[in-house]
Amino acid sequence: MKLAQIKYQNQLLIAEVFDNKVFPFDFHGDMIDLIKRDQSLPEKKHPGIDMDAVEFFPPVLRPSKIIAIGLNYRDHATELKVKIPESPLVFTKFSNSLIGHNQPVCWDDQITQKVDFEAELAIIIKKESYRCPPEKAVDAIWGYTCANDISARDLQFGDGQWVRGKSLNTFCPLGPWVVLGDTIPDPNALDIQCRVNDKIMQHANTNQMIFPIPELVAFLSDHFTLYPGDVILTGTPSGVGVFHSPPIFLKHGDRVIVDIESIGQLHNICQTNHHH
């Protein structure tokens, strides 16, 4: 089942997505309110609306945190010429970076000239979890969505700490919807791709993760409580722009697609404030 957070006739709605239509629920609140409600889903209130007639928001708008994992695919470690990490490398993106499907990724080229893409499988947390063992991780997960961990490489590598280069406004596209966890039996067996202007830049499978999803949820929840609606970006495979020779960075007008099997395609267009 796919659930989206949409804007239609100036209202924020939660809707089921089915067959290129969205079916809003009779529900007041956002996706995190729905997750916290922890009951069966509300009734649908009107017939399907054509998907093209609505604006997609990110599936969650106000997570308590966005946790991201650096280096979680073997081939990406090889590409970086570093050894496989012994425990997950954790960083964060601020929630101001969240945007939805078809919303523009924007930056000021006086701040960064080295903007890169990173296709990632994202987890949305279902319930408050602390010290959750790996075998219980599936119960802590509400669902999965596509993410693009947009990164200003000049800031990221210049700072040493990554949070500034990873947290610019619009630098965390998420969506188009959440696929509920019980409809994806094995999240570590999904084809994942990133395409820029229809050219395949990244192509892998989530079975290549160094730390599979149950281990990640357990590791993170050993350190900090996970709350409903929290987002975990599970890392990116090889093929990011900065390690191409010569490097390939995003530019004004580029169309970036993150495509994950069983979930869908997250589309975003790039816009610079001072394109020449």
pLDDT, position 275: 54
Helices (H) and strands (E) in the chain, counts: 6, 19
Tell me the whole-structure pTM to 2 decimals: 0.96
Quote the tokens at residue 19: 């067959």
The 8-class DSSP code of residue 143 comes to E
Whole-angstrom Cα distance, residue 196 to residue 268? 10
Whole-angstrom Cα distance, residue 255 to residue 196? 6
pLDDT, position 40: 87
Of 3.90.850.10, 3.40.50.10490, 3.60.150.10, 3.30.300.90, the CATH number of 66-272 is 3.90.850.10
pLDDT, position 146: 99
Quote the tokens at residue 213: 């999803």
pLDDT, position 48: 93
Residues of the chain with CATH 3.90.850.10: 66-272
Average pLDDT, the chain: 95
Percent of the chain with pLDDT over 70: 99
3-class DSSP state of 53: helix
Residues of the chain with pLDDT under 70: 275-276
pLDDT, position 81: 78
* pLDDT tens sequence across 48-82: 999 999 999 999 999 999 999 999 998 887 777 78
